[in-house]
Amino acid sequence: MHSILARVACRKPPSDRYANKRVQLESTSMNAIDLMFRALQPQDASAVGRLMSEHPLWGDRDHDEQSRRIARLLDRGEYGLIAEYVKDDERVLAGFTIMSDSTFGDHGYIRLIGIQPRLTGQGIGTRLLHVAEVRFAQRQIRRVFLLCTDWNTGAQAFYERHGYKRVGVLPDWLEGGVNELIYVKRGLDDHE
Residues found near ligand COA in the complex (CB under 6 A) = 11, 57, 112-115, 120-126, 148, 152, 154-155, 157-158
Per the DSSP assignment, residues forming a β-bridge with 95 are 83, 115
State the minimum distance, in angstroms, from the CB of residue 6 to ligand COA. 12
State the minimum distance, in angstroms, from the CB of residue 172 to ligand COA. 18
Q: How far apart are the C-alpha atoms of 51 and 100, rounded to whole Å?
A: 21
- Of 85 and 158, the one with the shorter C-beta distance to ligand COA is 158
For the chain, the residue count is 192
Residue 145 in contact with residue 164, Cβ under 8 Å? no
Q: How far apart are the C-alpha atoms of 192 and 8, rounded to whole Å?
A: 14
State the minimum distance, in angstroms, from the CB of residue 153 to ligand COA. 8
- Of 11 and 165, the one with the shorter C-beta distance to ligand COA is 11
List, in order, residues 6 or more apart from 34 with CB less than 8 Å away: 5, 6, 7, 85, 86
State the minimum distance, in angstroms, from the CB of residue 167 to ligand COA. 17
- Of 147 and 188, the one with the shorter C-beta distance to ligand COA is 147
State the minimum distance, in angstroms, from the CB of residue 14 to ligand COA. 12
Chain center to CA of 117: 13
- Of 137 and 155, the one with the shorter C-beta distance to ligand COA is 155
- Shortest-Cβ-distance residue relative to ligand COA: 125
CB atoms within 10 A of CB 139: 13
- Of 11 and 166, the one with the shorter C-beta distance to ligand COA is 11
Nearest to 131 by CA among 10, 13, 11: 13
